Amino acid sequence: MVDPNHGTISLAFIQTLGSSFVPDLISDFQKEFPNIQFQLSQNISSKILKEIHAANIDIGFCSPLEPQDDLCSIPVLTEELFLIVPVAHRLAGTERVNLSEVADEPFIFFKPQTALHDLIENLCNEAGFHPRKVFEGYEERTVSDLVGANLGVAIVPYIPNLDESKISMVRVQSPKCFRVIQMVWRLNGYMSPAVINFKEFVEKRAIGMAKE
């Protein structure tokens, strides 16, 4: 536990980071620290924050909307959010749209327990309307499948390998649609040397990306 070159890090992250961000990050880290292992889990932001508070995980990558008591965080990634519509929708294939153009559409939303729920609701309000929610899901794939079934439109982070035979992904011009992913850890909790190494590795990487 006291050897900075060995140990196990308990890491949790939201669903969209599992396709490339977290695997690439761990791969690069283990080039420097090949003997440090990871215990990985995926969850929604609110549950990740609870697990960090409870000291069940060391570090989380998620998108808290408000500062958290007894937790520290730094931004590590900005994810663009896209409008997705059924392939037969009038806006399918459009390069850019204003969010207000779907003000009267039924919306597939994320569950209220997710950080994306409040963020997307705020974006719709900023665009001048209250979204008409017809279905709710926890995961991006579930939401996109409901859109593909022609049940409404949605706002989601980028989804790799999206089924373009059913769904069209469109950039939103106004308002700016994005979410900030944070690395979160306990303020006063014990942090092993291995965890400290990983946290510092991610911090340096985030600083380098910010300079770019």
Average pLDDT, the chain: 91
List pLDDT tens digits, range 137-149: 988 889 999 999 9
User: Is the confidence at residue 211, as pLDDT, over 90?
Assistant: no
SS3 content of the chain, % helix, strand, coil (to 5): 35, 35, 35
DSSP letter for 18, please. Answer: G
145-170 burial string, b = 16+ CB within 10 Å, else e?
Answer: bbbbeeebbbbbbebeebeeebbbbb
Cα 125 from Cα 128, distance rounded (Å):
5
When pLDDT is cut at 50, 70 and 90, the band that residue 1 belongs to is low
Q: Residue 134: is its pLDDT beyond 60?
A: yes
Write the pLDDT tens digit of every residue in 87-128: 999 999 999 999 999 999 999 999 998 889 999 999 999 999
- pTM of this structure: 0.86
Could you report the per-residue pLDDT of 44-68, keeping only the tens digit for each? 999 999 999 999 999 999 998 777 7
Sign of the torsion formed by the C-alpha atoms of 212, 13, 63 and 48: negative
Sequence-ordered list of residues with C-beta below 8 angstroms from that of 5, at least 6 positions apart, any chain: 33, 35, 36, 194
Gap between the Cα atoms of 69 and 72, Å rounded: 8
